[in-house]
Amino acid sequence: MMGLFWSVLGIASGAFIAVQAPINSQLARGLGLPVAAAAFSFLSGAIVLGLATMLVTRGQGISLDWKAPAPWLFVAGGILGGAYVTISTILIPRIGAAALMAFLVAGQLVAGMLLDRIGFLGMAVREISLGRLVGAVLLMTGAVLVRLT
């Protein structure tokens, strides 16, 4: 039963990405600058997540260990996320939501396979099998077809 819950949560998260891109694009159109829209998207998200962090840490009586993570980890995700949101904001009016989502998923799969292969940041190493390779090629082909049709 929990497996179904996590699967549905993953699908919902993907849907949020699909909805976020046109919202940010509309904000960029109104502001006149995609990077400004991305900045405000991150600012609002940071405020909400900061409040949620305060509520959870206080509610569970835990404190964050600010010294444990390597310093670069505090900024790397934000930099990558900022690039993703800005690029998505620029691309969605040009290629559409379906094509953008197809290319995003294809890029995630290829990057995920490479990260699995090298065991990035302590992840379990998973080989790139023929099945995984064929799946990636099919997904990339599907992404191109979504864009061309």
Length of the chain: 149
Domain ranges of the chain: 16-95, 97-149
Asked if residues 87 and 100 have their Cβ atoms less than 8 Å apart, the reply is: no
pLDDT in tens, 16-67: 988 999 999 999 999 999 999 999 999 999 999 999 999 999 999 999 999 9
Average pLDDT over residues 88-117: 92
Q: Measuring CA to CA, how many Å separate 58 from each of 63, 64, 102? A: 8, 11, 40
pLDDT in tens, 12-28: 998 998 899 999 999 99
Which secondary structure element, helix H or strand E, spans residue 148, and what is its range?
Answer: helix 130-148
pLDDT at 2: 82
Q: What is the DSSP letter of 119?
A: T
Give φ, ψ of 80 to 5 degrees. Answer: -65, -40
Q: Measuring CA to CA, how many Å separate 96 from each of 1, 88, 89, 102? A: 35, 10, 11, 10
